[in-house]
């Protein structure tokens, strides 16, 4: 029997004795004092040491935030005719992946094109490399119904109808319930969801967009957002396009004679300035992922929902849903890649072959062997 238990029994006996024998008006006080003595004996670490006691401390629970990102979204175009729109007026376009989009605290996608009527279609010098996209304004309902919260309008097709098209897109998005950013006039935005304040910056090396090649300015915006927000997310639409450009170089990339920026430099400078998550897109194929200073970067999420006007052959027809678990400061905890592919003319569905997961594993090992990430065959993203 330990000394502490022995004293406990004595004190209990004293309590009973006080209670039974005391007839004075302050008898209840005797009982209370005895109880206090018991409590004091039990709580006093300085006078009594129980060598059999094992001290355990509960680890504070980390608040986990789930953030989902996908690549390019173009839900069909009514230009030059409505025959380029999906069945059912697009209402079912996300049905095959809905569960993975809506089950998050925040869901992001790149809105590849104009949405709403306005402006004049751009002229094309070379139709082989020139496409013009305009989604009906009410298609924002398809995004919100699927669970999207924020979109980027920084990409080459956001300017397909000039400044008039950009104004039309802004007017539609302003009434949609979606947060957005990426134009020269609106490079960033802030918003709150579930008690978390987000800062969002979007950039691309294209006309009408906040220029991602302005690396110092981007870092300045990020630092400002970091000072007022819990989590800062940066979207960038950059890099050369196509299956010949699946790898991520650590230098400027040129495509069709145009400098498409240095995505590695951009991502690292943003994180150095306070960004927490970098969502890349633009090459129309999936690229590697990286963990830098405990912050997650995906260099391209490829084509996600690109109806009718896009080539979907091989690697251009698959893309991941990137699901991240971060703490309230944006630090990476874990993640998952959900494999998707596009069927018919561009409807996203789950891909049981996990083709895009295998691609990301291969590319990440090749391009960022120093990154402390391990990606399993079923898409789990873990620290090594």
Q: Which residues pair with 297 in a beta bridge?
A: 278, 290
pLDDT for the residue numbered 60: 57
Phi and psi, residue 219, nearest 5°: -65, -35
For the chain, which ranges sit under pLDDT 50?
1-56
- Cα 144 versus chain centre, distance: 16
Q: For residues 72-94, b (16+ Cβ closer than 10 Å) or e, as one string? A: bbbbbbebeeeebbbeeebeebb
pLDDT for the residue numbered 375: 98
pLDDT for the residue numbered 58: 56
pLDDT > 90 fraction of the chain, expressed in percent and rounded: 80
Whole-prediction pTM value? 0.84
Asked if 336 and 104 count as a contact pair (C-beta separation under 8 A), the reply is no
pLDDT for the residue numbered 377: 97
Residue closest to 144 by CA, chosen among 113, 173, 169, 185: 173
What's the pLDDT tens digit per position in 303-346?
Answer: 999 999 899 999 999 999 999 999 999 999 999 999 999 999 99
**Helical H runs in the chain?**
3-21, 27-43, 98-102, 140-146, 162-174, 215-228, 263-273, 355-367
What's the pLDDT tens digit per position in 4-21?
Answer: 444 444 444 444 444 444
Q: Specify the DSSP element, H or E, that contains 381.
A: strand 380-383
Q: Specify the DSSP element, H or E, that contains 273.
A: helix 263-273
pLDDT for the residue numbered 187: 98
pLDDT for the residue numbered 331: 98
Which distant-in-sequence residues (6+ apart) come within 8 Å of 20 by Cβ? Answer: none
Whole-angstrom distance, CA of residue 188 vs CA of residue 350:
32
pLDDT for the residue numbered 21: 41
């Amino acid at each position: 029997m330990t000394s502490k238990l022995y004293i406990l029994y004595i004190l209990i006996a004293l309590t009973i004795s006080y209670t039974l024998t005391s007839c004075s008006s302050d008898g209840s006080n005797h009982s209370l004092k005895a109880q206090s003595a018991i409590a004091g004996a039990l709580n006093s670490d300085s006078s009594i040491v129980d060598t059999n006691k094992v001290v355990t401390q509960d680890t504070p629970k980390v608040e986990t935030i789930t953030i989902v990102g996908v690549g390019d979204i173009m839900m069909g175009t009514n230009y030059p005719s409505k025959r380029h729109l999906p069945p059912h007026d697009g209402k079912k376009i996300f049905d095959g992946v809905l569960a993975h989009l809506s089950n998050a605290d925040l869901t992001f996608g790149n809105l590849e094109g104009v949405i709403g009527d306005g402006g004049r279609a751009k002229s094309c010098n070379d139709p082989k490399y020139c496409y013009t996209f305009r989604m009906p304004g009410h298609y924002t309902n398809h995004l919100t119904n699927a669970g999207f919260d924020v979109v980027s309008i920084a990409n080459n097709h956001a300017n397909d109808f000039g400044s008039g098209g950009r104004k039309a897109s802004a007017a539609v998005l302003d009434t949609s319930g979606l947060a957005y950013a990426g134009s020269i006039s609106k490079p960033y935005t802030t918003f709150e969801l579930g008690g978390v304040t987000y800062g969002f910056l979007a950039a691309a090396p294209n006309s009408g967009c906040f220029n991602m090649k302005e690396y110092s300015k981007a870092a300045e915006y990020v630092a400002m957002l970091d000072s007022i927000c819990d989590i800062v997310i940066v979207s960038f639409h950059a890099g050369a396009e196509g299956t010949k450009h699946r790898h991520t170089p650590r230098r400027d990339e040129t495509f069709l004679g145009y400098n498409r920026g240095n995505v590695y430099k951009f991502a690292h400078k943003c994180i150095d300035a306070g960004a927490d998550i970098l969502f890349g897109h633009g090459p129309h194929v999936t690229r590697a992922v990286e963990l830098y200073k405990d912050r997650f970067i995906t260099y391209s999420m490829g084509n996600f929902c690109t109806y009718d006007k896009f080539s979907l052959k091989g690697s251009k027809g698959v893309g991941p849903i990137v699901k991240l678990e971060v703490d309230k400061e944006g630090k990476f905890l874990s993640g998952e890649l959900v494999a998707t592919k596009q069927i018919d003319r561009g409807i996203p569905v789950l891909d049981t072959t996990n083709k895009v997961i295998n691609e990301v594993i291969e590319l990440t090992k090749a391009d960022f062997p120093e990154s402390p990430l391990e990606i399993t065959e079923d898409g789990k993203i873990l620290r090594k």
